[in-house]
Structure 1
């Protein structure tokens, strides 16, 4: 196996950057920089170290700087060491450890499906939640096709902790996030020090260098800088380098009277593989299926990536021919600059200004198995009766392929190459807040008025093609098809330009749109005696402008420039840019949230909240029939409303913490699913209710943190598929749970995290069940001395199969048992060394 390694020059350069204080101009902020944090020098003292710390101050989507115990919102936080111990490898991995969240992190470093308290994931992404860096959105919308926020977010040593606010106040303090806010909060150099870490895969090929360093420069100025570099094949077999790139982030903070100024920057340029569904065997019944690997292809470690198929030629919407390297996968590029200031004004008023400009771009490239069958059957589908096969790639290229034994299993797959260029996913966000605290009727009252503005660009170019590939992982070959007369119908394994199997208009699209959000908001928070009462309103106004175009027809194009128009080149789909359709509409919506918290004692509190939020739809409307010919969109299509009610109890003692929340929500949704034989339009209303429990037990050397969520969710209205009414939403499990014990014994730390889910349905209408599973991650760490630590980590210790998605249409057990599905990673073992500066 080819095993690329980090060069000496790369290591030396990275270490130099990590230790160089002059490199202090780079990225975002800390807990003192989000919403209503205390000014520097006024932070609350650090609470005792507990796995679930209810005394910790809340800074995300909060009306005032309050502890979890004193606030009326449902919030969880994960410290950097907890994230490390959980075995999280991506942003979505981190969220799996939070009650109320179902994060399907089986797609690699991006494209995760994330749901909150039964709010639906009908077509991918995190539609009703928002990913933030230091309180500012990574992207304005959580479910943009092929460009989800987690794709542009790479956690590393820069992260101090993560706060997750579910429901309630997120409707007032964020746009397009009625379900939750996931806030990744970075370090800002209050204390001198940092870390250097090297991580290498034990049972897979990957090398990674992480580093960070920060310190005060003088009494009023401090900095922090960090990042990572990596290289390798990754945890699934591809037999070539699929992970390559890195990130640099940092910030510089200067304290002023009653406030601070901060400059931050980020540069990310990273490639990682897009893990899409793969061919599998599903037998048994829809209610009790047996999901297993096919002969010669492991569904937990296999992909359709192969060194024998690295390039794709496609016709872009602008008429240019694009040569794509399949190693690009998620190619995420971020050039971001941020600024923040907290100013004390006259008469006790404070002004908090924050902005972030992010130039986001990249690519999404991944092979998707649109159809799996015997090689003989697919040859006849493509070439008719009497069709034959030849190898198009690999050591046997040009030789006749026996359809009964090809790939050592007689199977093949019609692959749709999801090839999407993202030239502009950039955004600009600005949040300005004016706050004043005064005494009112026996308690402090905080008045806050804010104004939020953002512009989100969505510019994409889809150019999908169709290939025929053997089902055998890294040794897979592309196949050519010949008809009964011996005429070659394919082109080096390419069956057709475009994806006519799903319809000629499916795989060639171009968007050039932008969405401006403006939102004034008000909040009042009052704390008389043991009460904390708050109320807030937000008025969101969105302006959508731009245009989009699809396939105009097919034409002959010499794609490879050899002077010969071969079979597939005779019918190349093309777009007509002059016939683009307009996007031109304005929408507005009023959101609100009311909450109350009552401290029965220092150890016990009750809380309740009611809220109404909204999610403004964006690119998912463009080809789903939601945009009318003049560019307008009906209110019911362009805006999806979420109403939520929640309440619960918090219990906090020296050794224990318990946070119990009951919830009830109704959700409207309009959407489209682009990854199916028949591209589905969705227009539904959902109802969900349940309870989430988070708690911890801390005694000396032993700590236990855990959570469990019960969700009862149903479709209560469906305008397009009435037979789905009464169904459980797809991929929504009744039970999701996590538990993490850890022990500290002298120089050793031991720990494990178990993350599990009960069964769920693969689609709507309900039919095929995805089985329950529990994934266990474990680690052992040894402190050699005060500076050096080594760790051995194993994710999915028991190598369980955890199915997160089944896609083959129809979604059911097929007569031949062949299907497509996506699983969590198999057992993944890696070792690391960390040096504390």
Structure 2
């Protein structure tokens, strides 16, 4: 990618700038950390100017944007260390997560959660995107990002100039900003679950080195079963980050590196018993299980056979869970030269990993499923576990609930999500009349790989507790095995196509985006505008039998290598390696934003803004009717990208311990995508659609402190609608699935002397499980209290709880109506977990 390398070539020139300057770089005095008295609470540093998604960092009351920040004092109090969990405590941000990093859905204001990931939000680390696209199949951004003690703050900008200061971010930007060692000091913290098995060690340390140099290092390591019973260490791994900064007379240079290798279990859908009506349902755990603590994961369901991306027999291990690996190096610099501030950021990341999930294809009473798949008189036996081979005398009472499911084992090998990203920017402030004009010109370039392989297999499973799940074998009345070690098929076995969704992508996305902004401030008034031109080139190959033509996607293979062919081994999905589909197209779109801000008085300002931002379609449009794999191009060139229009107006107030922001908004977007939906029986189905959405609402953010008391509040009210649907007009006018009208967070706190006590409260009103607006998905309120005590200097003891009232908080229901069986598949937040921590600061 020539223009990327040309842009990146600016970095050596910027780093050499001190040598070309007339004055030698001075050595600033080393900063020294002041130790706090024994009873003092952690010190909150002075607020930094907001710098994400804007031309220059400035006071929020002087900016026509809606933005928020969580700093290092706030972060330990939100009740979770997961990225999506943290993000969900930012006003205006809607996050669906089961408490792990990865497999999350994040959106802003009322924009739809049509699929997993963060389609309309870009998640950054130190000002550059972790991934160019936030909704890559089986590779959402939070899978490759972690929060630890090296995190300084999290900044979010909703709407506004986010669409012009970053690519693929029309809804907003979330930036995780690292500490950089301005003051000498660090800490070590050990955290352990009191009612669950998970131990974690965090550390960070930074200090000046003299002659203008400073550094910071930090990271974590964790290991344990986790908050759900699975019978093995589902969490295992950690992260290490380091940066080195040289402060100059007129700027700085910084080098940094990161290594992440972290594995987590995937808490997917699990059955709950639904009662009541579709409009007013109630949910409870299935007999013999705990819906907040059980999964289908266990040592006895972990290993299964299949084929790799070359169609060769292989073995998969579900204990690898959601596994992200990142090796990245980068450099950034800023220098003031002849009135211009020139900044350059460059990062190269090697990104890979693995994704595993278990999706219920069919769930029903065991006797019914046995008859449907093996006929009358069929027999059920244990395929794995301590009772392997034993016939089950009473399937109707199996595990205390008599239920069986055909589960879809989904495995994605993320061969390469490597990227190189570069952002070069130059700004200058001009005296124009009685005001100041700030101009910015920038060039962004990136190269993003998407090389991944999907495989699926069907297994016969039940539902039990305590991490003791097993697979089952099914035999006909005439003693013909229907299963092979509990496996029904080595593919996605549907009535129409075994090989459906068995796919490989090997695609590269190149992005080049020049951008510019101008902001004129005169007295209390500031008027600004920005524009961005995104050009993309996409090339590569696709492999999948569902592409059409003469491709063949099914074979008979001895996958377990025992020399004989079982019935499931006649149903093996393979890739047509000699007949790849083609990807070869480009796209261009323009994003712009205009805004005005008026500082009525020192404590109050008002603003208004209109923006239109674009977002490239990414790999989700491939293998759909919207993409032609022969020509390598979208069927309609307009589906190569989508656009979001937003209007917002707000008021900001800040004075004497009170901060209050209120913003009214309107947003509209068109989208071509696929999503996993469900029918009235709960059976999953993949839906391809082209729609228009809109949302109107208001978001509120406030913080008040009086002596030792403080409270922080964030709330978003949004009325969202499906305005049009080219495939299913019956959905027009419906509310998009998983779109509550109100979601909020509240954090009251009392802090005095040697202790701090408080709670983070997260709540949401009801929404709909699916876009047909039949089954209501109940709202919930989660309370996460915390207590921190500082008995002696530099030592802090903590006690925190998540979901202290053990609320059944549902974030996803895999059905569009309560089925006749009364059993639905649902994803819930974890039940009550209590953790203790010991932190030593030095």
> TM range, normalised to the smaller chain?
over 0.9
d(CA) in 2 for partners of 1:171 and 1:104? Answer: 23
Of 185, 188, 193, the match for 1:193: 185
- Cα offsets for 1:399-452 (capped at 9, x unmatched): 111211222221111110111100101111000011111111212211110000
Give the conservation status (yes or no) of the 8 Å contact 1:107–1:274.
Answer: no
1:229-378 equivalent positions in 2, closer than 5 A: 229-345=221-337, 347-378=338-369
Alignment partner, residue 652 of structure 2: 650
d(CA) in 2 for partners of 1:686 and 1:230? Answer: 41
Alignment partner, residue 118 of structure 2: 126
Give the conservation status (yes or no) of the 8 Å contact 2:199–2:223.
Answer: yes
Alignment partner, residue 523 of structure 1: 517
- Cα offsets for 1:507-547 (capped at 9, x unmatched): 41100001111100001112111112211000001111101
Deviation at 1:703, TM superposition (A): 0.8
d(CA) in 2 for partners of 1:477 and 1:112? Answer: 27
Alignment partner, residue 80 of structure 1: 72
Give the conservation status (yes or no) of the 8 Å contact 2:499–2:554.
Answer: no
Alignment partner, residue 783 of structure 1: 790
Of 810, 833, 837, the match for 1:832: 837
Worse overlay, 633-642 or 584-593: 633-642
Alignment partner, residue 715 of structure 2: 708
d(CA) in 2 for partners of 1:210 and 1:367? Answer: 31
Mapped pair 1:391 → 2:398: no
Deviation at 1:218, TM superposition (A): 0.5
CA gap 1:54/1:712 in 2 versus in 1, 3 angstroms: farther
Give the conservation status (yes or no) of the 8 Å contact 2:81–2:148.
Answer: no
**Secondary structure of 1:729's partner?**
coil
d(CA) in 1 for partners of 2:595 and 2:794? Answer: 46
Give unpaired runs (5+ residues) of structure 2. 1-25, 30-40, 546-551, 679-683
d(CA) in 1 for partners of 2:660 and 2:365? Answer: 54
Deviation at 1:393, TM superposition (A): 1.2
d(CA) in 2 for partners of 1:423 and 1:221? Answer: 38
Mapped pair 1:491 → 2:492: no
Deviation at 1:191, TM superposition (A): 0.3
Deviation at 1:505, TM superposition (A): 3.1
Q: Normalising by structure 2, what TM-score?
A: 0.92
d(CA) in 1 for partners of 2:376 and 2:645? Answer: 57
Alignment partner, residue 619 of structure 1: 619
Of 494, 504, 508, the match for 1:501: 494
Give the conservation status (yes or no) of the 8 Å contact 1:54–1:69.
Answer: no
- Cα offsets for 1:794-816 (capped at 9, x unmatched): 011111111110113xx111111
Give the conservation status (yes or no) of the 8 Å contact 1:467–1:495.
Answer: yes
Alignment partner, residue 601 of structure 2: 601
- Cα offsets for 1:312-371 (capped at 9, x unmatched): 2211231122322211111100000111111222x3122211111110001001222222
1:757-768 equivalent positions in 2, closer than 5 A: 757-768=764-775
Q: Normalising by structure 1, what TM-score?
A: 0.92
Worse overlay, 707-716 or 319-328: 319-328
**Secondary structure of 1:69's partner?**
helix
Of 87, 92, 113, the match for 1:100: 92
Deviation at 1:51, TM superposition (A): 13
Alignment partner, residue 701 of structure 2: 694
Deviation at 1:766, TM superposition (A): 1.0
Mapped pair 1:556 → 2:556: yes
Alignment partner, residue 638 of structure 1: 640
CA gap 1:738/1:232 in 2 versus in 1, 3 angstroms: same
Deviation at 1:558, TM superposition (A): 0.9
Give the conservation status (yes or no) of the 8 Å contact 1:518–1:540.
Answer: yes
CA gap 1:761/1:257 in 2 versus in 1, 3 angstroms: same
Mapped pair 1:454 → 2:442: no
**Secondary structure of 1:151's partner?**
helix
Mapped pair 1:539 → 2:533: yes
Give the conservation status (yes or no) of the 8 Å contact 1:279–1:369.
Answer: no
**Secondary structure of 1:767's partner?**
coil
d(CA) in 2 for partners of 1:283 and 1:426? Answer: 47
Of 369, 373, 393, the match for 1:382: 373
Alignment partner, residue 19 of structure 2: none
CA gap 1:689/1:777 in 2 versus in 1, 3 angstroms: same
Alignment partner, residue 792 of structure 1: 799
Of 798, 808, 822, the match for 2:827: 822
1:160-199 equivalent positions in 2, closer than 5 A: 160-199=152-191
1:17-28 equivalent positions in 2, closer than 5 A: none
Give the conservation status (yes or no) of the 8 Å contact 2:314–2:559.
Answer: no
CA gap 1:620/1:170 in 2 versus in 1, 3 angstroms: same
- Please tell me the root mean square deviation across aligned C-alpha atoms, in Å: 1.9
d(CA) in 1 for partners of 2:93 and 2:202? Answer: 28
- Cα offsets for 1:667-691 (capped at 9, x unmatched): 1111002465331002100110000
Worse overlay, 188-197 or 466-475: 466-475
Worse overlay, 512-521 or 55-64: 55-64
d(CA) in 2 for partners of 1:767 and 1:56? Answer: 47
Alignment partner, residue 16 of structure 1: none
Give the conservation status (yes or no) of the 8 Å contact 1:51–1:697.
Answer: no
Give the conservation status (yes or no) of the 8 Å contact 2:755–2:787.
Answer: yes
Alignment partner, residue 806 of structure 1: 813
Give unpaired runs (5+ residues) of structure 1. 1-38, 43-48
CA gap 1:192/1:107 in 2 versus in 1, 3 angstroms: closer
1:20-59 equivalent positions in 2, closer than 5 A: 56-59=48-51
d(CA) in 2 for partners of 1:414 and 1:644? Answer: 44
Give the conservation status (yes or no) of the 8 Å contact 1:55–1:68.
Answer: no
d(CA) in 1 for partners of 2:210 and 2:48? Answer: 28
Give the conservation status (yes or no) of the 8 Å contact 1:52–1:657.
Answer: no
Figure out how many residues of one structure are paired with residues of the other and give that number: 791
Mapped pair 1:684 → 2:691: yes
- Cα offsets for 1:170-211 (capped at 9, x unmatched): 010010011111100000000000110101111110010100
d(CA) in 1 for partners of 2:188 and 2:45? Answer: 28
**Secondary structure of 1:475's partner?**
coil
Mapped pair 1:400 → 2:391: yes
Deviation at 1:41, TM superposition (A): 8.3
**Secondary structure of 1:405's partner?**
helix
d(CA) in 1 for partners of 2:791 and 2:56? Answer: 43
CA gap 1:764/1:675 in 2 versus in 1, 3 angstroms: closer
CA gap 1:780/1:355 in 2 versus in 1, 3 angstroms: same
**Secondary structure of 2:106's partner?**
strand
Mapped pair 1:717 → 2:710: no
Deviation at 1:148, TM superposition (A): 0.3
Deviation at 1:256, TM superposition (A): 2.3
Give the conservation status (yes or no) of the 8 Å contact 1:316–1:462.
Answer: no
Of 196, 202, 210, the match for 2:202: 210
**Secondary structure of 2:351's partner?**
strand
Worse overlay, 547-556 or 119-128: 547-556
Give the conservation status (yes or no) of the 8 Å contact 1:52–1:705.
Answer: no
Give the conservation status (yes or no) of the 8 Å contact 1:87–1:793.
Answer: yes
Worse overlay, 101-110 or 609-618: 101-110
d(CA) in 1 for partners of 2:840 and 2:735? Answer: 49
**Secondary structure of 1:380's partner?**
helix
d(CA) in 2 for partners of 1:284 and 1:386? Answer: 35
**Secondary structure of 2:74's partner?**
helix
Worse overlay, 98-107 or 480-489: 98-107
**Secondary structure of 2:299's partner?**
coil
Worse overlay, 223-232 or 549-558: 549-558
